[in-house]
A and B are shown apart, each in its own frame.
Chain A
Amino acid sequence: MNDNVMISVSELKKFFGDVKAVNGISFDVKKGEVFGLLGPNGAGKTTTIKLLLGLLEPNEGTIKIMDLNPEIDEVQIKSRVGYVSEEPLIFKSLTPKDLFNFIASIRKLNPEETSERAQEYLESLGALEYYEQLVATLSHGNKQKIQIISAILHDPDLLILDEPLSGLDAKSVKVVKEILDIHIENGGAVLFSTHIMEIAEDLCDRIAIMNQGRIVGIGSMDDLRQQADQLGANLEDVFLRLTEQDVSVNEIVKKLRKSFSDRN
């Protein structure tokens, strides 16, 4: 297998009862690229990511993360991966301080280096003042910041981020983008999911558009534009077309307008 391939997924399937959350997808993520999973809510992005981390067991298909099988070598994989989950459900009853200490202990990190890093990240994301407050009392965005820092504290080779930018303010989004850039420059790889086209367009080298458990389009921006027959359209249109939502979305928008004007 190619040394450059960080994630390799083939014919992956995961069903929850009748729900085919992931229904036969294949893709690779290479070193030095930001790979985006783009899709509407319920497309199966989170499920895919959980499968990658061995948090769920696939019904069919194979996954290789840095040539390891997440079902078996979960611990090895996680020591080289940083993961930000969708819901910022870090322990609510801990403070970021407790949390970082916990993570450093589990990952057996170097104390000085890690302290320095944590301080740096906290400062640049503007979260230092919350360092000793209970996570439960933080706002959604601040929780998300703490979670992102938790994921990069150990300088991972691969970042897996599930909707990482939701709830962040504009400045923090910029900082996170910066962090991703540095990470890529150092030869890392990123896989992240989002349901917002602009973010994907902005950040990703390659994108897989997911809908109802399947990948309906994959490739760089240009590839995707080609795949859509409307050449020259922006990615939003492509996205809507590929997920076959353009008709229904228009319908909804029309209805919304009407109900609004009726009341006025």
Chain B
Amino acid sequence: MTEKEMGLYKLAKYTNLEIVMEAQVQSSGSNQARILEKYKKNKGSIKQQAFAMKIIYAAILLFMGVLPTISTYFQLEFKLSNPLVIPDSLLIPGGILFGSFNIMQLLYLTMLGMFAIGAMMSGDTFRWYETLPLSKERLRKLGFMTVFRNLDVGLITMILAFPIIIFVISLNILLALVALMISVINVMFSFSILVLIAGKISSILKISEAGSRKATLIRIFTMLSYMVVIFSASFFMQWVITAANDFFDVMEALDIPLIINIIMSLIPYLFSSGYLFIMSMEPSSFTPILWISALSGVGLSILITFFTYRRALRAMRMVTSSASLEAKQSSSSKKISEKPIEVLIEPRTPIKAYIRKDLSTSTRDIQTFMFIIMPLILPFMVLIPILISPTGLMDSFSDDYIIVWALVTMYQPMISIMLTTGFLNMEDTGASILSSLPIRTRDQAKAKLLLLGSIQTISYFLPLIVFIPNPDFLSYLFSFFSYYPVVLTLLLSMFQMKIRFFGRMKYKFVVEEFTPEKKVTKWFIIIVVELLIFVAFNFMGGILLLFFGPSMMFLATFFGGILALGVLLLSFNIMFPKVPGKRLTISIREIFRKHPLFGTVNLLVLYAGFLFLPGLIELPFFLIFENLPLIVLLFIDFFVTFGVMALLWLLIVRRSLGLPNGKESLKEYVKTIGLKPDRKIGRNIFLGISCSIIYFISIYITGNIFGIYIFDLDVIFGNPGTSISIYGWFIFILALIPGIWEEVAFRGVISTLNLRKYSRTTVLIVVSIIFGLFHFINLLVGNHLVLTGIQVIYASLLGFLLGYLFIKTKSLIPSIILHYLIDSLGQLFTYVIFDSIVDLVLFAIIGVGIIPSVLGVILVKLVVKEEPR
């Protein structure tokens, strides 16, 4: 670079920062003042932001663009070291592979670059530079430099990563230098193409043409065709790369006529660089003629790159010269004035009008347009590297549709977040014409949701087209369809959370940002909750898949999604009532309280989700420290599980859900669910212990009747992992979890909640059955179906006694004691060997279930004298 150019490069820094800042301020809507405030306080933050963006781009380009080439290098290396392989035969497949990688790099750069420089290309920044005494030529270069600066870290990574990695692997300086040259050519070329394309797009977006419907159509069509070109190119490349891998094997024994190789190596950009690189790996194995032709090919590439660069510079003039832009504009407006303008207004329904407005706004503004385009590109960006990965992931799995499904679900929360932020920030309260129009927020929200839902739906199902030729297409279709309710759930929950946090007014919710305070905290919560919803579904799915196979997983995600969707639609109707005007008092919490069974179902889903949470939290930990002794693992698991349960029942249920009796302080809540010791504490402890004794005696006797009871203290006092039971004495600690939290859940919260509406008998029976059925969840951790079925029966029966204790004494203490002792000390009495399954069933139902419940209930009836209410 000359000194002059260095100066321009430095100058470009300011334009680049200006662009990043402009994009920030533009997208912040009503919060512009706040953003500006932030910049006032921290002058460096804009620079940090610009830098962070660069690093992200660099990482994407490195992983998706450069790393695949390295694996090809290893493949070539391997083949070249094999004396049976004719080196010449490697040139065609190798050349094609490298050529394909070049094109892939170009595609990635274009996709990223278009997003990054869209803002800059709209050109306003340069209007100002134009007023400075800079020549046209320098102004043009300045534009180029600015685009370059925006992507510089990424570009430099792309240029350097390949040669450096090659050097480190091969320690061959010549090879590294060739690699460097190839990289430089490729990146320069790709970059110039990017500038050309971006220039084209921005000029389409910029110029207003007559007949806005036609203009919109043209715009959408052009943008789509770019996308189609990029996609189809990606697919073609994917196909080529897969095919070329097979090529290696097919061709390695073939004798390729030299002339073909010479012609191929002369083809610039596509093949020549690959040829040169492969030849440099084993220079002596190839004839000088081939060297000459390959070098000429590379020379040609350099020439082409140079001319493309020149063209890109010229295209820059479009942007940097407002004169040319205005010339275009005035020519188009002249066209208008030739024919008389006739004002013709055609009203539509408000929702339609609203969608139309959003659509035409977003197709004219590149930033918002990206919010539409990214969801359509993302699936392919994620899928392509997998599809083309040389290890052939797709071939080695028989259930590859599950992998694709998993991948596609993975980025759904991201798309929801992106769409919601993009489309909800499009206008802001009070500063737009909307504020003057009698728009019902319900219509507005519906319109937005329709639009967002359509985009996300298309984005979600789009990858399916790749698999249409696949014989397993129906499995793909089915797997995608089963998760669709979850996708909508993710979008709807994101949408509602955004509005709940940012659009709350006294009497209504508004789509625009009304309360922008504490933005970071709010966003943090929103995103965490969104990810939790996602993790809950996918983790549940994963476990079901592991134990029951795909059908079960798909059924569960489908119905789980439908349920969640139901809740969200309900909450949508509350947020945006058909008849507006009531003060916002009724809430989802109230619905749960008014319809306790509905609340119960939701509580159970939440409970089940939280039961799996500890595993998720511990998984990475256990992977890192794999050699910990069992007892340590047990303790960690205990504390995590206990903590998670406390979080759920003491915080989330109490505060967020306001169950069972509305939002309460911890003190009130503890009293409500009967955890607080009352005057009758002595009697309550006595009841808990005596019911336990009844239980022990019952199972001891019936155990001896139906089977052979074995007395072995090791069951409860042995060391964990060594004795007959894996828990040993640890069971006394472990049993605290079901002892306390299942009681809090089923008796303290769920029973209390249902008692608000139903009679005591109904609640007692229904909750006992629910409690029993809930044990089906043990299937998920791999328990035997029949055994679990039996467990469900006796748990329902015992649940009746536990519930009776709670309802009669209005305290959780007795049932906690009973539950705890059954799960811990009770193990000592359940070491029974049966001859047949019938004996086992009889023992479980009569001995464990019926007898203790009946006797227990009688005891409670005798002891507890009910105070008149």
Contacts and interface: CB of A to CB of B under 8 A. Distances in A.
Nearest to B580: A75
B615 to A, nearest CB: 46
Contact of B352 (A78, A84, A99, A105): A105
Interface string A95-120: 10111111111111101001100110
A100 B353 CA distance: 11
Interface in A49-93: 50, 53, 55-57, 71-79, 81-85, 87, 89-91, 93
Interface residues of B, number: 45
Contacts of A90: 432-433
B507 A133 contact: no
B208 interface: yes
B566 interface: no
Contacts of B439: 75, 78, 106
Contacts of A75: 438-440, 580
Contacts of B427: 91
A190 to B, nearest CB: 15
Interface string A118-147: 110010000011011110010000000001
Contact of A94 (B344, B357, B429, B438): B357
B430 interface: yes
Nearest to B336: A132
A211 interface: no
A101 B365 CA distance: 20
Main secondary structure of the interface of B (DSSP, over half): loop
A150 interface: yes
Nearest to B351: A105
Given A93-B364, A98-B212, A105 B353 contact: yes
Contact of A129 (B337, B344, B347, B437): B337
Contact of A105 (B208, B347, B360): B347
B440 A71 contact: no
A151 B434 CA distance: 11
Contacts of B344: 111, 115
A82 B337 CA distance: 30
A90 B431 CA distance: 8
Contacts of B353: 101-102, 105-106
Interface in A175-211: none
Nearest to A57: B506
B348 interface: yes
Contacts of A55: 429-430, 435
B333 A91 contact: no
Contacts of B868: none
B438 A93 contact: no
Contacts of A128: 341, 343
B437 A106 contact: yes
Nearest to A100: B345
A106 B507 contact: no
A106 B364 CA distance: 21
B436 A78 contact: yes
Contacts of A147: 433
Contacts of B508: 74
Nearest to A156: B436
Contacts of B360: 93-94, 98
Contacts of A122: 343
A53 B356 contact: no
Contacts of B348: 101, 105
Given A57-B506, A82-B436, A147-B433, A132 B212 contact: yes
B867 interface: no
Nearest to A71: B507
B506 A93 contact: no
B361 A94 contact: yes
A78 B438 contact: yes
Contacts of A103: 433, 437
Contacts of B432: 85, 89-91
Given A91-B433, A102-B356, A132-B212, A79 B438 contact: yes
Interface in B353-379: 353-354, 356-357, 360-361, 364-365
Contacts of A73: 581
Given A90-B433, A94-B361, A132-B211, A118 B345 contact: yes
Contacts of A104: 345-347
Contacts of A74: 438, 508
A129 B433 contact: no
Contacts of A111: 344-347
Contact of A97 (B212, B365, B580): B212
Given A93-B365, A132-B208, A118 B343 contact: yes
Nearest to A90: B433
B345 A101 contact: yes
A107 B356 CA distance: 15
B424 to A, nearest CB: 15
B354 A106 contact: yes
Interface of B: 208, 210-212, 329, 333, 336-337, 341-350, 352-354, 356-357, 360-361, 364-365, 427, 429-433, 435-440, 505-508, 580-581
7 pairs of A and B residues whose beta carbons are closest in the complex:
A105-B353, A83-B436, A79-B438, A78-B438, A93-B364, A119-B343, A104-B347
Interface of A: 50, 53, 55-57, 71-79, 81-85, 87, 89-91, 93-95, 97-109, 111, 114-115, 118-119, 122, 128-129, 131-134, 137, 147, 150-151
Given A82-B436, A111-B346, 20 more contacts: A75-B438, A85-B430, A85-B431, A85-B433, A91-B361, A91-B432, A94-B357, A98-B357, A102-B354, A102-B357, A106-B350, A106-B437, A107-B438, A114-B345, A118-B345, A131-B341, A132-B211, A132-B341, A137-B208, A151-B436
10 contacts: A74-B438, A75-B440, A91-B433, A98-B356, A100-B343, A104-B345, A106-B350, A129-B336, A129-B337, A150-B433
